[in-house]
Amino acid sequence: MRVGLAARRGLGRLTPEPFVIAALLTALVAAASFVWVVRAGASGPALLELLERWRGGQGLWGLLSFAMQASLMLVLGSALAATPPLRRLLGWLVGLPRGARALVAMTACVSIVAALLNWSLGLVCGALFARGAGEEAARRGWRLDYPLLCAAGYAGMMTWHGGLSGTAPLKATNPRDTVEVLGAALAAQVGTIPLSESLFSWLNLAVSGGLLLLGPLVFAAMTPREGEDPGARSIPVGKADEAGLMGHVPAAGSEDPALGRLERSRVITWLLAAPMIAALALFGSAQGWAALDLNTVNLGLWAAALLLHGRPDRFVAACEAGIRGCAGIMLLFPLYAGMMGLLAASGLSAALAGLFADVPGRLFTAATFASAGLLNLFVPSGGGQWALQGPIVIEAALARGVDPGAAMMAVAYGDQWTNMLQPFWAAPLLAITGARAREIAGYCAVWMALGGLWIVGVLLAWGTGSPGAGSG
């Protein structure tokens, strides 16, 4: 409890807003990249080429497709939250806990479980549940800090890469993707890494299972007893009435007379929803739900929101209100894409990735975890980080007799670990909940520190692993 209050009053007050952090990081990465290139003996034209790389399609604009996907996830997730059936389900779930600590623990549990199924589901579900929990706490008159609930709703982003949507483990099962990331020679030496040696290994079951148990306990422990938190802040006034839940969705009997019959027709809804459902069913039967990607999740959110709203006008009204929350995504994603372009073009990313490559074999996975956590602050894409760090880590692991699957999962754990300090992924949650980055930073830092200790402890106990000895 005291740790949570101290973290909120300390780090929380010092944390700038996400856009400021991204701007400062851009300046830092640009300066470091230019210095790195100059030290390598580059001339003026090479520096201009570096600037051009930042400006071009592999820099600032390299994540436009991803930004659209993330924006759709936010808009469609908010629209889904505005449907009466989900509103009732949310109300039932948040009504189960009998105390403030139990409510916070359940929020963290929902976020982590959903993130282990799919990262985007964890992000949206965690944010929506935190928002509903904030309303429930206000209704019951509990003095519960709303940003603590929002931080608990974000907890799953520190567990996702060990779940069914983990980018690195899923790519490593495919020969073509393995060659794309590792190169032909190294891929031939390693082969594919089956899920039995990554996601379903005893290492990952220990790490991810432990985080699932630890997360709710940590957030419950940070929750002061009733009446002992004089600075508790409830959900922002009016936030519960916005269209993310129910506010601007037309209620029965209050339809706009200017709307025609087609805008209110359920037939139009089914004309679009039916092929969406068919496409989802085809995907599930052909590839299996463990292969969920962001586009498929967005399609599912779209179909569900359409059907649960029932009418085109209500669905569109909910989406229009949700679009207001996309400013963070639109502004932050290009800046981080630009950083990734600078790091790759200068060669600095390879240097960061190999920072701990020379450590002894028994400490290798723990050191890899730390280096991946550092790199994630500048390259927040799991797939992008695996592409940069994967070849270096796997080659070093083979040289030290370390299980490639364990080395790969160490990269995955580092990638997810510093998400708690990375505003890139927090933007959708902050938009849905109405919280500010500085309000959740302290709580997230405590969760990051304790969860990181658990991950390092398991990696040290695991040691070098046993190459090829995966476990189902």
- pLDDT, tens digit, 9 for 90 and up, residues 236-250: 755 554 543 333 344
- Angle separating helix axes 119-140 and 294-309, nearest 10 degrees: 40
Distance of alpha carbon 156 from alpha carbon 111, whole angstroms = 5
pLDDT at 470: 38
Four-CA torsion 79, 83, 88, 93, nearest 10 degrees:
-20
In contact, 310 and 269? CB cutoff 8 Å: yes
Q: Indicate if the pLDDT at residue 38 is higher than 70.
A: yes
> Cα 275 from chain centroid?
29
DSSP 159-213: TGGGSTT-HHHHHTTSHHHHHHHH-HHHHHHH----GGGTTTSHHHHHHHHHHHH
151 pLDDT band, cuts 50/70/90, is very high
Q: Is 399 exposed, middle or buried (0-12, 13-18, 19+ CB in 10 A)?
A: exposed
Give percent above pLDDT 70 in the chain: 84
Q: Which H or E element spans position 413?
A: helix 404-417
Task: Looking at mean pLDDT, say which of 180-189, 231-240, 404-413, 418-427 comes out highest.
Answer: 404-413
Is the four-CA dihedral 373, 19, 245, 272 of positive or negative sign?
Answer: negative
Instruction: Return the amino acid letter for 254.
Output: S
Task: Looking at mean pLDDT, say which of 25-34, 63-72, 211-220, 456-465 comes out highest.
Answer: 211-220
pLDDT at 472: 34
Give percent above pLDDT 90 in the chain: 28
3-state secondary structure 279-310: HHHHHHHHHCHHHCCHHHHHHHHHHHHHHHHC
120 pLDDT band, cuts 50/70/90, is confident
pLDDT at 249: 41
pLDDT, tens digit, 9 for 90 and up, residues 76-118: 877 887 788 877 887 788 889 999 999 999 999 999 998 898 7
179 pLDDT band, cuts 50/70/90, is confident
48 pLDDT band, cuts 50/70/90, is confident
pTM listed for this prediction: 0.77
48-62, 252-266, 275-289: least confident range: 252-266
In contact, 454 and 259? CB cutoff 8 Å: no
In contact, 160 and 416? CB cutoff 8 Å: yes
Residues 6 or more apart from 356 whose CB is under 8 A from it? 364, 367, 368, 370, 371
Instruction: Return the amino acid letter for 283.
Output: F
pLDDT, tens digit, 9 for 90 and up, residues 282-316: 988 887 765 556 688 789 889 999 999 988 988 99
Task: Looking at mean pLDDT, say which of 77-91, 350-364, 451-465 comes out highest.
Answer: 451-465
The CB density around residue 9, as the number of other CB atoms within 10 Å, is: 11
- Mean pLDDT, residues 327-347: 82
Query: 385-391 — which CB contacts under 8 Å span 24+ positions?
Result: 385/411, 385/415, 386/167, 386/168, 386/171, 386/181, 386/411, 386/412, 386/415, 387/180, 387/181, 388/343, 388/344, 388/349, 388/350, 388/353, 389/353, 390/168, 390/181, 390/182, 391/181, 391/182, 391/183, 391/186
